[in-house]
Amino acid sequence: MALFEAIHLHKRFGDQVVLEDISLTFEAGQLSGIMGPNGAGKSTCFNVLTGHYKPNAGKVMFEGKDITGLPPRVIAGMGIARSFQLMNLFDEFTVIENILVALPESVAKSFNIGHDIMGNSSATDRAADVLAKVGLTGRELELAGNLPYGERRALEIGVALASEPRLLFLDEPTQGLGADGTARLEELIGELKKTYSIVIIEHDMKFLFGLADTISVIHWGQVIAQGSPDQLRDNEWVRASKIGDAA
């Protein structure tokens, strides 16, 4: 059984077809990539997969359960975490507080977080573990708003990891990062993929070709190509392009 499956998804906004018969499968332990040009329907697809939009037709399955149309918080509670294209951090909180509030026990208590949980040493230990995973050890007490952009991106991934997800969705993680930042992020995700099942939506093809086990190419709201990076490169035009060079 696949970890996550999208089956014949259709999504329209009014008269406009945005997703036309999209089927995707993400396997446990793999890094699956979704790429496509601007306006291809990537973000809509992502929002349907994570419950932010309801499809007009088709099904979304996670660990064999039908999760189509469930609200995002229910889907998140089932073990799917996502990051957003635009960052989603508490800038006035410290780095470690951002992680602490995302730990499952803080989410369960919802109010009265912060000071209370800072005194909980098992929680702070686990938050420190998460920060180590995303390379932010030593930055615990920095305000999130003061971090450089690349570290904010890493912290955002840390926030997603704090919920102990069984599947992690990342929406355009290289957005706004320069070449250095992208290289560091590639290294970080390369580490994380050893322990997590990950889905990444990206338009940076080189980045995705370097990391993914399988890639689905979306254009015109449809899956126009699917396969491993090597299978996708097996084409004269692709070999001649910049992703061909990366081979």
The DSSP 8-state label assigned to residue 197 in this structure reads: -
Contact status: 77 vs another protein (CB under 8 A): no
# residues near another protein by CB under 8 A? 28
* Residue 173: closest CA among 137, 165, 183, 194: 183
Is residue 45 involved in binding another protein (CB under 8 A)?
Answer: no
Q: What's the rounded Cα separation, in Å, for the pair 63 and 46?
A: 18
Q: Does 230 bind another protein (CB under 8 A)?
A: no
Do residues 1 and 64 make contact, with C-beta atoms less than 8 angstroms apart?
yes
Question: Whose Cβ is closer to another protein: residue 104's or residue 227's?
Answer: 227
Q: Is 180 in the site for another protein (CB under 8 A)?
A: no
Q: Is 38 a binder of another protein (CB under 8 A)? A: yes
231 binds another protein, rule: CB under 8 A: no
Among 84, 90, 93, 220, binds another protein (CB under 8 A): 220
Taking CB under 8 A as the rule, does residue 228 contact another protein? no
Strands 65-66 and 198-202 turn out to be: unpaired
Based on its alpha-carbon atoms, the radius of gyration of the chain, rounded to whole angstroms, reads: 18
Least distance between another protein and beta carbon 65 (Å): 26
Cβ at position 55, least distance to another protein in Å: 15
Contact range with another protein by CB under 8 A, out of 71-79, 119-127, 134-142, 236-244: 236-244
With beta carbons less than 8 A apart as the criterion, state whether 188 and 135 touch.
yes
Cross-strand pairs, 118: none
Is 129 within 8 Å of 114 (Cβ atoms)?
Answer: no
Residues between 200 and 219 that touch another protein (CB under 8 A): 205, 217, 219
How near is the Cβ of 115 to another protein at its closest, in Å? Answer: 50
DSSP output for 52-108: SS--SEEEEEETTEE-TT--HHHHHHTTEEE--SS----TTSBHHHHHHTTSHHHHH
Regarding 17 and contact with another protein (CB under 8 A), the answer is: yes
Where along the sequence are the contacts to another protein (CB under 8 A)?
Answer: 15-18, 20-21, 37-40, 205, 217, 219-222, 224-225, 232, 235-238, 240-244
